[in-house]
Structure formats: C-alpha cells, structure tokens
Amino acid sequence: MNYTKYERVPYMAPGAKFEQVSTSIVPINVPVFDYPISPRENFRRVLKHENPMWVPTAVTDFNYVMGGELTGLPDLRFDFEERCDWTDLFGCVWEWLPDAGGSMLKPNQKPVLEDITEWEKKIVWPDLSEDRIKACCEKFMSQPYYHPEKLNYYDFGQGCTERLVAVLGGYTEAMLAFAEEPEACREFMAELSRFHCRMFDAISKYFPTDMIMYHDDWGTERDTFFGEKMMEEMVYGPSEIFFKHVKETGVAIDFHTCGNIKRFVKYAVELGADFLQLQTRCNDVKAYKEQYGDKIGFDVYLLPTTVEDIKTDARNYVDELGKNGGLFSTIFGGDETILWPGLQELYAYSREYYENN
C-alpha cells in the first residue's frame, strides 16, 4: 500500500530539522521528526507489542554505541570501507573484510587457547576497572551527538559459542571441543556468562541502559552448527545465565545471530530475547513473525545502497513485520543523501500503517 499522508522532507531541505547522531563509524546527520509521543513511550509499545505509532531505528530513537567505547577495552575500531586487523578484549586477532561485510579470525595466528580443558589456567579475564568504565560512559554521554531524551543502546559483543570459537581459533576446533570435552566447554561458557553479568552491571551503573545487542552466531547460511541436543545440553544453560540476569533488570535484549537458525528460533524465544537480528537472505523472517510474533520482535537492516532500494525495503519491512509492533531497524551509517530518504520513508510510512491497522 502507498501511504502518502505524512510529508517526506528532502535531504537537508531549507528549514528541515536535523541532528547529528553517533554511529559505529562517524557521527552523521539525520532528520528530526515531530513525534506525537516520546521515543521512550513508543519503544515501550514496540517492545510490548502494543500498537506503536512508528517503527523506530537505532540512529533516530537510540543513543547507539559500541560496548568498547563504554568499557575502554579493545573492541571493533575500523573504517567499514577498508580492510584492517584488530585484537579484541580476550586477545583474539581478527581481520575486517569489507567484501564479506564482517570480521574473520586472522589466519595463521596462534589461538588464545589450544586446549579447552586448560581454560581456568590460561584465560585472562578482561579488567573491569570501575574508574575506567565510569570515565568512558561519562565521555560518551558528554558528546554533542548524545541526546538524553533518547534510549540508551549498546552492542555488548560476543556470546557463548562465538567466544568459544574465537579463543580456540576457529569453528572446526570449537566443534571438536564440543564433542570431545563437553563439560569443559560448558563450564567455560558458564563462567563467560558470569563475567558478562559483571560487565553488564559495571556499564549499567554509569550508562542507564535500555537495550543491549548480544551476539552469538549459531549457524551458516545452510543450517545450524550443531543440533538441538547440543543446544539443550551445552549452550542453552550457560546462555540463560546472562539472559536471565539482564532481563531481571528490565533491560531489553536484541539478539544477533548469523546463519539459517530456523530450528533454534524457539530457543531464542525461551531465553527471553526481545528482538532477533537475522540474515534475511537465509531466514524466512516473515514466517517467524507469523509463528512467534506475539513473543519476540525483529530488528531488520536498512542498507543505504540506493534511494529506491532503501525506501522499498522500509515499506516491505513494515508491511511484512510491523503488525502489532515488535519491529525496529538498524542502520550502520552510510551515505547521508541515501540514508535520509530511507529514514523519512520508514517513519512516514509506518505512521500511517499503524493508523490504519
């Protein structure tokens, strides 16, 4: 349907309201909308599936930040257009590959851990210095692109299976460890989740958190890395430690997982994820919405490739996933002249969609 009631203001047109916001790359200019209710109240409706008034985005409704900026620990620091190496907070060496759109463990590097049974002796847990975290949070919230009226949202980083894969040096090594040393794998992941609880608490003390993004890749584009039995016996329990802790604080969880995870969606729902951020090219997200839409929401990418593509994607996402709420969108920077009309379309189209549905 073509909704046209609400005006789409051209990019930086005379008199257009705009503001600078933070992204994972550099601050960018985005339109400011005349919201009928606060972003916080609208997001509450999105979260509770109670007929929101528009579909929010991470760049217009949230103060979005990478977790490393709030802890001062090593984290992703790169220009998305250039290949580069980076080392994470556990000492794993990665390379960012623009053509692949992601980071891969750098080949021919000695893994942090060669034997999972030695994790208690050899894993060095990152330092959660309260003074450093306090200073980092205060620095971010003092920037001109931080807007106190918006919701606070940060990327927490790697979860149980992703971190196991990273410290062991790859998926082959991690899956062998799962098969050969299940108890050690489970104990490491449980301790990782307890560490994550402490890190979450340390950040929340100085950054009033509304939502986090939590990562744990569970599959390839063909299928999951492991089956339901291994999920239930090894991965679910350690993951639940962190999910339960966060949910008890009232903070929402946006769960990112790569791969075709059709058979694992039910576990994400049971863990308490509020939103799923999935690869749409290998998941039938519309079908997941129909099956689980009253229990979980969806975070979809809007990619600033062309003006027409981003506007078409915005309308399609609203039509297919917007019913009764549970939908928001993530955009990672890009060309402002393309991003702007996409944000305008998503806001205007979703406003009228919710008025008519």
State the chain's mean pLDDT as an integer: 94
pTM value surpassing 0.75: yes
pLDDT of residue 4: 86
Residue 208 has pLDDT above 90, yes or no: yes
* Mean pLDDT lowest among 93-107, 114-128, 234-248, 341-355: 93-107
**How far, in Å, are 26, 65, 120, 292 from residue 146 at the CA level?**
13, 10, 40, 34
pLDDT of residue 307: 96
pLDDT digits (tens, 9 = 90+) for 78-122: 556 778 888 999 999 998 877 766 778 988 899 999 999 999 999
d(CA 159, CA 147): 29
pLDDT of residue 221: 93
pLDDT of residue 331: 81
* Mean pLDDT lowest among 72-76, 170-174, 199-203, 228-232: 72-76
pLDDT of residue 1: 75
pLDDT of residue 100: 66
If one counts every other C-beta atom within 10 angstroms of the C-beta of residue 285, the result is 17
Residue 337 has pLDDT above 80, yes or no: yes
Q: Largest Cα–Cα distance of the chain, in whole Å?
A: 65
Asked if 276 and 230 touch (Cβ cutoff 8 Å), the reply is: no
